[in-house]
Structure 1
Amino acid sequence: MAQLQPVKIRNITLGTGRPKIAVPITGITEQEIIAQAQTIKQAHPDLIEWRLDYFEEATDSNSVQTTGRALRQVLGDMALLTTFRTHNEGGQLMLNNSQEYQQICQNILANNFTDALDIQLYQEQAIVQALVEQAHQSQTVVIMSNHDFEKTPTAAEIQQRLLAMIALGADVAKIAVMPQSVEDVIMLITATQKTAVIAEKPLITMAMGDLGKVSRIAGEVFGSALTFASVGAASAPGQIPIANLRQELEDLRIK
Structure 2
Amino acid sequence: MVKIGNVPLDNGMPKICVPIVGRSLDELVQECRYLKDKIYDVVELRIDFLKDVLSLDAVGQALTVVRQELPDEAILFTFRTKEEGGETDVPESYYFSLLDYTIKSGTIDAVDIEYFRDREGIKKTLTVAKEYGITVIMSSHDFHKTPSFDEITGRLIGMKKLGADVAKLACMPKSAKDVLTLLSATEAIKSQYPDEPLITMSMGRLGAISRISGECFGSSLTFGSAKKASAPGQLEVTTLHQILQALHG
TM class, shorter-chain normalised?
over 0.9
Aligned residue-pair number = 248
CA distance in 1, matches of 2:147, 2:19: 25
Task: Give the secondary-structure state (helix, strand or coil) at the position aligned to 1:170.
Answer: coil
Report the alpha carbon displacement of residue 41 of structure 1 after superposing the two structures with TM: 3.4
Q: 1:104-143, aligned counterparts within 5 Å? A: 104-143=98-137
Counterpart residue number, 2:43: 48
Report the alpha carbon displacement of residue 9 of structure 1 after superposing the two structures with TM: 1.4
Asked whether the 8 Å contact 1:87–1:93 carries over to 2, the reply is yes
Task: Give the secondary-structure state (helix, strand or coil) at the position aligned to 2:34.
Answer: helix
Report the alpha carbon displacement of residue 33 of structure 1 after superposing the two structures with TM: 0.7
- One-letter amino acid of the structure 1 residue matched with residue 25 of structure 2: E
CA distance in 2, matches of 1:139, 1:106: 13
CA distance in 2, matches of 1:92, 1:39: 22
Asked whether the 8 Å contact 2:39–2:237 carries over to 1, the reply is no
Report the alpha carbon displacement of residue 59 of structure 1 after superposing the two structures with TM: 1.8
Report the alpha carbon displacement of residue 236 of structure 1 after superposing the two structures with TM: 0.2
CA distance in 2, matches of 1:143, 1:40: 23
Match of 2:144 among 142, 150, 161: 150
Report the alpha carbon displacement of residue 109 of structure 1 after superposing the two structures with TM: 1.0
CA distance in 2, matches of 1:185, 1:84: 26
Counterpart residue number, 2:9: 14
Asked whether the 8 Å contact 1:49–1:82 carries over to 2, the reply is yes
Report the alpha carbon displacement of residue 16 of structure 1 after superposing the two structures with TM: 2.8
Please provide the CA RMSD for this pair: 1.0
Counterpart residue number, 2:158: 164
Counterpart residue number, 2:206: 211
CA distance in 1, matches of 2:62, 2:105: 11
Counterpart residue number, 1:92: 87
Asked whether the 8 Å contact 1:41–1:75 carries over to 2, the reply is no
Report the alpha carbon displacement of residue 34 of structure 1 after superposing the two structures with TM: 1.4
Counterpart residue number, 1:3: none
CA distance in 1, matches of 2:179, 2:11: 24
Contiguous gaps of at least 5 residues in structure 2: none
**Residues 181-232 of structure 1: CA deviation (Å, up to 9, x unaligned):** 0000000000000000112520000000000000000100000000000112
CA distance in 2, matches of 1:164, 1:125: 12
Give the TM-score normalised by structure 1.
0.95
Give the TM-score normalised by structure 2.
0.97
- One-letter amino acid of the structure 2 residue matched with residue 7 of structure 1: V
**Residues 86-118 of structure 1: CA deviation (Å, up to 9, x unaligned):** 0000000011x2111111111111211000000
Task: Give the secondary-structure state (helix, strand or coil) at the position aligned to 2:242.
Answer: helix
Q: 1:165-244, aligned counterparts within 5 Å? A: 165-199=159-193, 200-244=195-239
CA distance in 2, matches of 1:10, 1:99: 27
**Residues 166-189 of structure 1: CA deviation (Å, up to 9, x unaligned):** 111111110000000000000000
